[in-house]
Amino acid sequence: MKKIGLLLVLCAAVAAQAQKADMASLDAPAGTAPTSVTFPFERVQTPTNADLYCAGFVNEHSLPNANFVAGGLQTPNTTKFAAGELLYLGGTGYQVGQEYTVVRELRNPNKHELFPGQDRLLRTFGQPYAEQARIKIVDTRSKMAIAQIESSCDAVVPGDVVIPFAEKPTISFHPPVRFDRFLPASAKTSGRILLSRDFDGIVGTGAKVYMNVGANQGVKPGDYFRAVRLYTADQQDEVDSLSFDASTTEDTQKNPSEMDPNFLKPSKGPAIHVADLPRRAVGEIVILTATATTSTGMIVYALEDLHVGDGVELDEQQ
């Protein structure tokens, strides 16, 4: 009787394991290898309305600032306004019921470049803007129009610019795909992360970034780009480059290797060329909006921190 009970327990365990394997196979995309540590399956989320309408953008030219926020109901005692509050708008052309987006022309208070040539590239590709709020005109009987903030991404302040509201296309869901960390470079559309929202230099999942590829290169909302990094990029970083000067060997090695003998003192051991190390993919970015020359993306998957200055390449695996 004990033997029969033990046999039943073993059969139940085998059945449970088989069911788990079946569920795993259903969970993975068809035709792909099982998930591994080296090549995981990325799982990303669809951007929300807040992601779409609060991401900001880089415009090729500065936007007209004739229509602007002049104040609010408690001006001058209140200088920051959020959802539900009333705004006074300077400028012309307003009509009751019209919707507008409040944007802010940005400047980076940090004069330090996050990668060599960043300032020059930004001047080449345009002016960055933050999207602050969505507003609706409720009255136009005074010299200034009156609007109510329907939704806000961040505080609205006097001087922020008002532009007509435009609907943005929704982004379709990205099914799980095999994330190849060492996918070789190709001839696909490629560019670079120029800037991030709030001027952060190191960003992760959910962060918004601005890239120097746009509609002129065929980029459109819903496209996915793979963020990639070369090890030679560390040589241009003030902090990361210090690691190349540190010892990577052990005292017991008779002929220790030297990291990139083109830059450091040659040794009798193996020569490790940094440029020969494989390019590594660090994350996935979905395009939210695109202008002619730039695009705004959201990081939807990251295996490690992404850096402003990282390369991006169109990912056509989906």
Give the tens place of pLDDT for each residue, 93-118. 999 999 999 999 999 888 888 888 89
- Report residue 245's pLDDT band, with 50, 70 and 90 as the boundaries: confident
Per-residue pLDDT, 1: 45
* b/e code 165-188 from CB counts within 10 Å (16+ = b): beeeeebeebeebbbebebeeeee
pLDDT attached to residue 186: 82
More confident residue, 105 or 27: 105
What CA–CA distance (Å, rounded) separates 131 from 69? 14
Could you give the 3-state DSSP secondary structure of residue 17? helix
Query: Mean pLDDT, to the nearest integer, of 235-245?
Result: 71
- Residue 61 and residue 124 in contact, taking contact as beta carbons nearer than 8 Å: no
For the ranges 47-61, 139-153, 207-221, 229-243, the lowest mean pLDDT is seen at 229-243
The mean pLDDT of 5-23, rounded to a whole number, is: 46
Please give the pLDDT value at position 143. Answer: 94
What SS3 class is residue 72?
A: strand
CATH pick for 169-240+257-318 out of 2.40.30, 1.10.357, 3.90.550, 1.10.287:
2.40.30
**What is the mean predicted confidence (pLDDT) over 53-60?**
96
- 32 or 68, higher pLDDT: 68
Confidence of residue 234 (pLDDT cuts 50, 70, 90): confident
Mean pLDDT in residue range 70-90: 96
Domain ranges of the chain: 50-164, 169-240+257-318
- In whole angstroms, what is the distance from residue 133 CA to residue 100 CA? 8
Angle, CA 123 vertex, CA 120 and CA 126 arms, to 5°: 145
Question: For 199, phi and psi rounded to 5 degrees?
Answer: 65, 25
pLDDT digits (tens, 9 = 90+) for 270-292: 777 778 888 899 999 999 999 99
pLDDT > 70? residue 307: yes
Q: Is the pLDDT of residue 191 over 80?
A: yes
Strand partners, 297: 209, 287
Dihedral, CA atoms, 116, 122, 123, 124, nearest 10 degrees? 90
